Structure 1
């Protein structure tokens, strides 16, 4: 239990303190806007961040409840317990990396709210990091540990980061 608490405190510190602090620091150095100033930027930013936060929380809850593990596993570094079941329900039925999508939307929303063009390097840099993380670390582990389920999941949910509307 202490391991879970530590892993979520560490992850929360990075995702919700350190990276937003970097966004706000860049915004103070480079205040060039990219959206109409005022309520539009703040509203769009709040909406994007809220949707992103929803997906991050929902994804983590699915991993804990259905996967019986956590999200703080980076290759051989296992701060939280690895999932023992492949999670393909909830947000994982919409796209294969909803937590990464949520983080991207959360950071994009912060960038919109502070309305600084140069801050956009953070969410798009994160998306690039998430892509390589998914392709080179996460997916090989899932394919190794859950071969049949993983192949079926790729067939059912081919999109890595963005939900795609289902055909009628």
Structure 2
């Protein structure tokens, strides 16, 4: 991994795992109104959501780096990391097409449940909207262009953008 890729991942991690949670904490401070009963169960649920989200973020990045031979910090024409040279369809990408975005949304949702302030929910819902627009307008067109046949096969196998759908038993 090059220094450029390491710095790009550090930059991205800072945005999503430092600034995002800081925004959630500030919103909770300004609006301390609960959206669910505050008890041990809400904290456990929040911890499970955040841990699952973090797991998917790490796993999907690992797959991009090792199997795709590229990175996740590519925003249209801005390429902070190398673009993937292979379409990754294994691991978390066999469950849904954007597992990293799903992981970030779950991570934020878990924090919101643990903090339990209604206004904080704008962060995971805002991230959901951002993720959908990012995938639809930037990520998917590049994948269609760079991997036309593989991409069409992949969306047949994995039609869900964000949330894994259990497959039927055969």
When the two structures are superposed, what TM-score results if normalisation uses the length of structure 2?
Answer: 0.98
In structure 2, the gaps of 5 or more residues are: none
Q: Deviations over 1:12-57 (max 9, x none)?
A: 1101100100000000000110111121221111000000000000
The 3-state SS of whatever aligns with 1:69 is coil
1:114-144 Cα distance to aligned partner (Å, 9 max, x none): 0001100000000000000000000000000
Question: After the TM superposition, which parts of structure 1 deviate over 2 Å for at least 4 consecutive aligned residues?
Answer: none
| SS of structure 1 residue aligned to 2:43 | helix
2:116 aligned partner? 115
1:112 Cα deviation from its structure 2 partner: 0.4
What does residue range 63-102 of structure 1 map to in structure 2 within 5 Å? Answer: 63-102=64-103
Give TM-score scaled by structure 1 length: 0.99
Instruction: Check if 1:9 corresponds to 2:10.
Output: yes
Cα RMSD of the aligned pairs, angstroms, is: 0.5
Q: Which residue is equivalent to 1:161? A: 162
SS in 2 for 1:166: coil
How many residues were matched structurally?
168
Aligned to 1:20: 21
